[in-house]
Amino acid sequence: MQLHIKPFKEGDEFICSKIVNLCFDAGLLRDFTKKCVDEHYAPEIYLAFANDYLTYVGYLDNINEPIIFGAIADNEITDLFLNPNYHNKGYGKEMLSYLEGEIIKYTNESEFFLNPESTSINFYKKQGYEYNGDGTFVKLLKKNNIKILTEEDL
């Protein structure tokens, strides 16, 4: 199934919150407490966050709600959460690549950072990220052509 990535819109905050909670319940967020998840990813909190960052959601052809979302700020990937039911199918890699392209497009940066959850470090290493020595991971990117999907594209 093809992943369709679109800009975050009001109303997506509910499913984004649900995805984070599914990740927490699946044991994928060992660096977070339940209180932290509830405080930072409650729908109303995430809506305010998403309006301040470039945030994207990914849909599959046959599913009416996002299965993945990610956000960027300057040259940092601040969020990347995938519904655990869709792990190991290439969707995380596809969204990560999209976010990298958006960073290049909007900031003209070719080096940027992320601070991954401990359970996702191996995923990021496989995508070419290296430990920076300060708790973050860094990757040097090559410029590429990425297009934002609009409602008309779908």
Tokens of 48: 């305010």
Predicted confidence band of residue 28 (pLDDT cuts 50, 70, 90): confident
Topology of the domain covering 3-153:
Aminopeptidase (3.40.630)
Q: What is the mean pLDDT of residues 72-97?
A: 94
Predicted confidence band of residue 72 (pLDDT cuts 50, 70, 90): very high
Write out pLDDT tens, residues 109-118. Answer: 778 889 888 8
Nearest to 51 by CA among 95, 106, 13: 13
Q: What is the CA radius of gyration of the chain?
A: 15
Q: Where do the structural domains in the chain lie, given as residue ranges?
A: 3-153
Nearest to 80 by CA among 105, 51, 58, 52: 58
User: Dihedral, CA atoms, 115, 116, 117, 122, nearest 10 degrees?
Assistant: -150
pLDDT at 142: 59
Average pLDDT value over all residues in the chain: 86
